[in-house]
Amino acid sequence: MKSREAWQELEKIREGRDVVGHVEEVLARVEKWEGEVKAYISLEIPELLRQRGEELERRLRKGEKVGKLAGLLVSVKDNICTTALPTTAGSRMLDGYVSPYNATVVERLLAEDAIVIGKTNLDEFAMGSTTELSAFWPTRNPWDLTRVPGGSSGGSASSLAYGGADLSLGSDTGGSARLPAAYTATVGLKPTYGLVSRYGLIPYGNSLEQISPMARSVRDVALLLEVIGGWDARDATSLRVGSPVFSLEPAEARGQKICLVKEMVEGAEEPVEKLFWNVVEKLSSEGAELEEVRIPVLSKALPTYYTIAFAEAASNLARYAGIFYPSKGSSGIWEEYVGEARAKGFGREVKRRILMGVYALSEGFRDEFYVAATRVRRAIRDEVLKLTRRCIIAAQASPILPPRIGERLDDPLKLYYMDMYTVVANLAGVPALVQPIGFSHGLPVGIQWIAGPLEEQKLISLGLLVESLTGLAGVMVD
């Protein structure tokens, strides 16, 4: 196990360390690990990365001002649009597609002199929890190559875990950044809905998803969120707030109010529960105030989430007819042409979710399923907002340790069950952070913290405190 944080690399670069040397170090990690892990769908040409490093070195030697992320290599989930590399969303439907524009978050990275190293693998259209459902190949967990890294941002998490990037952008619709963080000993933060622009994110569930910063430490996540957060006129869901600025002082344990929601801490495997309670009890011994509560409506959170997500997916993916994107049918008749393109372009899980979403929205069932789900979502949001006014919620990140490759694919319900603790924050639109708290039999375990809207600072401060207690900041495989 090694430790390396992006902010430390940034300080070295600013003190005169050659940027090209740092690029070479990261490329060496990619060469060592990528063949087995397969975190990336596409990688930038190494010589171009070196040229960007050389350009930054020249600017630093001249004393020119450089950006907040100067010289750091950032991996970008492949459902976020980039002009320099293809954007496939992990689907044959978009195989070879190159966007004519950059997502707002990518523009902000480049404006701060970050170097985009590549586009990371994901479950097709971000629909999955293991990163096995990519149309190209499964991604493996660097801590144990027989295990999954979680999903759908498993490529982003794995690229961080083996040192193939300094920072990463994922997306989180129901836990897609946080579950991989828990499984790879990295940190993932789902921001408040609307804090980070979704312009340029290929949509899955519009009312649920957020582009999410991922890194190897809480401080690095804060650094990345400061760059990508803030209002964007091109995103109708963007909140009219400025770019966030965070204090990097750890929270004081004494007086910290933490609520343990029984529906979000019960039902996990014994090794996961043991590490969770170790951290919670450590915080308590340091002076944190713990309170156990119940929110009965959370028993409906998982079916509520999937009903809404499937319905929105059915609507969003209707645009893919094999005409405006690379996947093409071959028949001349319209219905046959579109049907053939979708049969070839979409994978099994995407087809399943589209069909279930169409069913939930169909005449005679819409009120029973979709409308009912939106009402439950409002009840969940009300309860979560009420609770976060007086405490931070502590929750499990996953009910299980990282499954083995192929272990959960044959049973969709077992696959969806992996999201049981993470979907709550998406339904409520509030920020949530997952960070590592230990290892069981060599496999990482994470903990989840949930706060109220625009209370990312509380999560970062608490996360820094937990890092000081566990010593798990910046870890990656040797």
Domain ranges of the chain: 2-254+390-476
Q: What pLDDT shows up at residue 336?
A: 81
Environment class of 15 (CB within 10 Å of its CB; exposed 0-12, middle 13-18, buried 19+): exposed
CATH topology of domain 2-254+390-476: Amidase signature (AS) enzymes (3.90.1300)
Q: What pLDDT shows up at residue 50?
A: 98
Q: How far apart are CA 91 and CA 135, in angstroms?
A: 5
What digits encode the pLDDT tens for the residues 155-187?
999 999 999 999 999 999 999 999 999 999 999
What digits encode the pLDDT tens for the residues 372-384?
999 999 999 999 9
- Mean pLDDT in residue range 421-433: 98
Q: What pLDDT shows up at residue 15?
A: 87
Q: What pLDDT shows up at residue 332?
A: 62
- pLDDT grade for 328, boundaries at 50, 70 and 90: low
Q: How far apart are CA 257 and CA 89, in angstroms?
A: 40
Contact 168, 75 (CB under 8 A): yes
And the tokens for 267?
A: 């039902």
What digits encode the pLDDT tens for the residues 109-123?
999 999 999 999 999
Active site residues: 77, 152, 176
What percentage of residues in the chain have a pLDDT greater than 70? 98
Residue 329 has pLDDT above 60, yes or no: no
Residue 331 has pLDDT above 70, yes or no: no
Phi, psi of 304 (to 5 degrees): -65, -50
Q: What pLDDT shows up at residue 214?
A: 99
What digits encode the pLDDT tens for the residues 194-251?
999 999 999 999 999 999 999 999 999 999 999 999 999 999 999 999 999 999 999 9
- Mean pLDDT in residue range 442-461: 98
